Structure 1
Amino acid sequence: MKKLLTVKSFIIGIGIILIDLAVYIFFGLLLMNYDDFYDESKGEYWSWESMSGFDKAVVSGIHVWNFINVMGVCYLAYKAIKKVKQRATIE
């Protein structure tokens, strides 16, 4: 039974990673619009002044998604440390 849970957890983990990559690809495709139609007269490249509202929303979405990823990694590190400490106290 434990091996089945391990395989199931592995498949779920791979699925989460693939969804994460799909979200980054989606944001990247949305940002291609900014890169294709960038106008130097509007401001420096990647500055807020040179972006449309849509581009600002996409960049903000990437920042939010990065924050979610960092929090997820911190959570997984916390769970791993907690599990290692629990095993150390049992032995």
Structure 2
Amino acid sequence: MKSILTLKNILLTIIIIIVDLGVYIFLGFMLMNYEDFYEESEGPYWSLESMTLTEKVTYICFNGWIILNLLAIGFILYRISKYLINKRKKKTGYNNA
């Protein structure tokens, strides 16, 4: 069975996490523009009607990035559980899958 903890996999994981955090930080800074220049006369706080086009795109991208991260975490958990089940089946000799 191949080892999961290779140097290549560890470095790739670290790079993915750094890029992910970078996107969160970038989108967070972009959303700070909305917080700094919000006016009550334009509509309720955090409503799309009170945002400019750039703020709307940033807001939607931020929420999309959260959904993408949740899907990625779900996929990783699925792969880990599949790996552990296959490992246990090989250890016990049970191959009726």
The normalised TM-score by structure 1 is 0.91
Partner of 1:25: 25
CA RMSD of aligned residues (A): 1.4
Unaligned 5+ residue runs, structure 1?
Answer: none
Bigger helix share: 1
Partner of 1:78: 78
Deviations 1:47-88 (A, max 9, x none): 112111111110000111111101110110010000001011
The normalised TM-score by structure 2 is 0.85
Matched positions, count: 89
Task: Provide the secondary structure at the position in 1 that maps to 2:44.
Answer: coil
Partner of 1:49: 49
> Which amino acid is the alignment partner of residue 80 of structure 2?
A
> Which amino acid is the alignment partner of residue 65 of structure 2?
W
> Which amino acid is the alignment partner of residue 88 of structure 1?
R
Seq. identity, % = 39
